[in-house]
Chain A
Amino acid sequence: GESVGLHLPTLSVQEGDNSIINCAYSNSASDYFIWYKQESGKGPQFIIDIRSNMDKRQGQRVTVLLNKTVKHLSLQIAATQPGDSAVYFCAENSLSSGYALNFGKGTSLLVTP
């Protein structure tokens, strides 16, 4: 069936480096994508979102890139900090799914000093 998945289950980066977390999706009708950060023992926290009519969106230290041709989504974190250590989930929905989000598997980001 349709799914959203991540390429890498874990990612370890050094403090100050840039991080890139990738996500593949299979539903060509997906029109909204969102990245969540989840720290241990907490609920997912919104980071950034992007609609399918865009290919790039920037926030504070974060950038989301969307490549609809290859159905690929990425989250870039600039100057990664220890507080960025968490699990990152991509999620998508489409008009056909209404307001239900389809979550990817998650990538654990570990920032080392």
Chain B
Amino acid sequence: DAMVIQNPRYQVTQFGKPVTLSCSQTLNHNVMYWYQQKSSQAPKLLFHYYDKDFNNEADTPDNFQSRRPNTSFCFLDIRSPGLGDAAMYLCATSTGQAGNEQFFGPGTRLTVL
């Protein structure tokens, strides 16, 4: 089945130690998104790629970076994780047309020690 895959499902890192989360999709969608979701809150958009065009949200900290080497893969890099970065990180995809649903992956739960 076509889907959005995130690896790993659970990630533990140390304070200040860089970490990379990965996302892949078999939907061949143009747009890939990264969201941060903290407990009991709505997903918060960090940034997205439309094809190779990167779009950063204004309030996304510089500590968060992203790479999209090809259509299928997108990575979230956290350069120096702080305790406040512990959250669920969700990847989603869409066709890129306004009014189309976003398909979410299962998320990666990040713990910062």
- Chain A interfacial positions (CB closer than 8 Å to B): 31-32, 34, 36, 41-46, 49, 51, 89, 93-95, 97-101, 103-106
Number of interface residues of B (CB under 8 A): 27
Q: Is the CB of B99 within 8 A of A31?
A: yes
- Give the residues in chain A near B50, CB-CB below 8 Å: 99
- Cα(A42)–Cα(B107), bound, Å: 6
- Cα(A105)–Cα(B38), bound, Å: 12
Q: Is the CB of A103 within 8 A of B99?
A: no
Q: Which residue of chain A lies nearest to B108 when distances are taken between CB atoms in the complex? A: A43
- Chain B interfacial positions (CB closer than 8 Å to A): 4, 6, 31, 40-45, 48, 50, 90, 92, 94, 96-107, 109
- Cα(A24)–Cα(B98), bound, Å: 20
Q: Is the CB of B99 within 8 A of A44?
A: no
- Cα(A106)–Cα(B44), bound, Å: 12
Which of A46, A51, A97, A103 contacts B42 (CB under 8 A)? A103
Known: A51-B99, A93-B98. A44 touches B40 (CB 8 A): no
